[in-house]
Amino acid sequence: MSKPLSINRFIETPLLFVVGAALSGLVVGTAVLFTDNVLWPAALVGALLLVWLVFNHPHAGLSLLVFATYTRSSDVLEHQYGIPSFVLPLALLLLASLFMRWWFLGKRIHNWERTAVLLGAYGLVGFTSLFYAADSGRSQNALIEFVKNCLLVFAVVLAMRDSRSLRGVSWALLAAGIFMGSLTVYQQLTGTFENTYWGFAQTEVKNIIADVSDHRASGPVGSSNFYALVMVALVPLALDRVWHERKLVYRLLALWALTVCVLSVIFTFSRGGFIALVVVLAVMIVRESLSPLKLLLSLALLLVVWQFIPANYTERLSTTLDLLPGSGGDARNEVSFRGRTSEVVVAWLIFADHPVWGVGLNNYKYYYQQYAQPLGWDNRREERAAHSLYLEMAAETGLIGLAAFGALVGVALGRAYQTQKMFMRAGRYDEAALAFAWMVVLVGYLAASLFLHGAYIRYFWLLIGILLALPQTAARPRKSPGTTTPPHRLQENAQGELPC
């Protein structure tokens, strides 16, 4: 027992601060002498403080990892200021702190075996493509990124241990939504498109309708369609907290997040993002028994949002109807639809030719022109992406890859549903509602992915890690009382299964 006690005392005594201060001074002095970039000394001090934070408070380190990943802070700082990426080192640091706590303090590491099996099966499918892909270098690069994302998943799964960390992760994502969305809304309303606000509020001048182009919000992602996907996924989480938080300040913060996230989706002019937004709102509203007050607040929010909808937005959305049979329109007459139709059809043709194993991980682009030119719908002579995560996966990894992906998503949703029931049986209705909201978060991401490929797949892996970790947050008793009274629908199902 002497080892754990001595380590705990070292972590909790001022000695650690003294050592940290001395190291910080040494590092800053060295950095000032050997670099011209004034941000480097501050970055190094921040790194040392980060080490202390993660080792002393892993739950805070987890929240920081989630926030940094979702806002792409690491990528933005690297691109804008040359500061090396820190998300992967932060994930490794968090894993190291958990390992040390297990080794020295005897704190068990839970829930890693099933996660390892799921990720291993999915990775094995990609690994086999190295042996038959036409461009194995592309497959190798994709596998390297997959390994990095696996480290992120394990860091989240192992560090998210109780309801405290569940709330911390949830609010870290809402803070990310407030941060990104507020910058986007301010930029759009003031017209300051030349200012990217440190790289977190980028825009694209792209086609809106016919020959009309305009600034489309793309946030820290740099792509308007993918930024819409990122913000749509936060909407059910924000809406749930608006409905179920007890303290007014938290409800107002959640309302802030909800408002700027919805407006950000609108300012992207993304049709796929709008469809996904409708899906998540419909699921959340159908599940919730709205009181007159909640309904009134929802209508008031809708009226506020309506005032800021751009003039060309509804006209752009109306072009989506051209995809419906009998609409009288032809999607191929619209410039962006022509390209996307070509990309989707090519993915299907590749899958039809290689249904079992596909053409190899990350090899769709290699084959695109070979299949697209005979169609004659896309005049661009460049590599293109599939514009649908599922068709891209089918083309590259075939039925085997789709099965592995389906198993991963199915287990993640199943574990969230299991968590919901566990919270219900314990009478923890607020957390049961939060678990349901997390299911809808993933549903929103998957709905938007119908129209987008896997270019920014790290968001998906972050959400998968959170959902896989949910059951262990319900397994431990809560230290504080619930935050709300049970919702009406949840009370009705307290003795049975919850509606999904």
Beta-carbon contacts of 466 under 8 Å, excluding residues fewer than 6 positions away, are 66, 156, 160, 169, 438
Can you list the alpha helix ranges (DSSP code H) found in 191-234? 224-232
How would you class 7 by CB atoms within 10 Å of its CB: exposed for 0-12, middle for 13-18, buried for 19 or more?
middle
The total of other beta-carbon atoms located within 10 Å of residue 60's CB is: 14
Report the C-alpha gap between 309 and 315 in whole angstroms. 11
Provide φ and ψ at 207, rounded to 5°: -60, 135
Helix or strand holding residue 397 (H, E): helix 389-425
Radius of gyration of the chain (CA): 24
Kindly give, in sequence order, each residue whose CB lies less than 8 Å from that of residue 147, ignoring residues fewer than 6 positions away: 123
- pLDDT at position 145: 96
* Beta strands at 202-209 and 212-219: parallel, antiparallel or unpaired: antiparallel
pLDDT at site 455: 84
What distance, in Å, lies between the first and last C-alpha atoms of the chain? 47
* DSSP character at residue 215: E
Residue type, 374: P
> How far apart are alpha carbons 99 and 128 in whole angstroms?
31
For the chain (500 residues), the mean pLDDT of every run of 10, in chain order, is 44 47 47 53 71 85 96 91 85 90 76 89 94 95 96 95 94 98 96 95 86 90 95 97 93 95 95 93 84 75 82 78 56 66 92 96 94 83 88 96 96 96 94 96 95 91 97 75 48 40
Question: Structure tokens of 124?
Answer: 């094995």
pTM of the predicted protein model: 0.86
Would you state the pLDDT for residue 464?
98
With contact defined as beta carbons under 8 Å apart, do 159 and 165 qualify?
Answer: yes
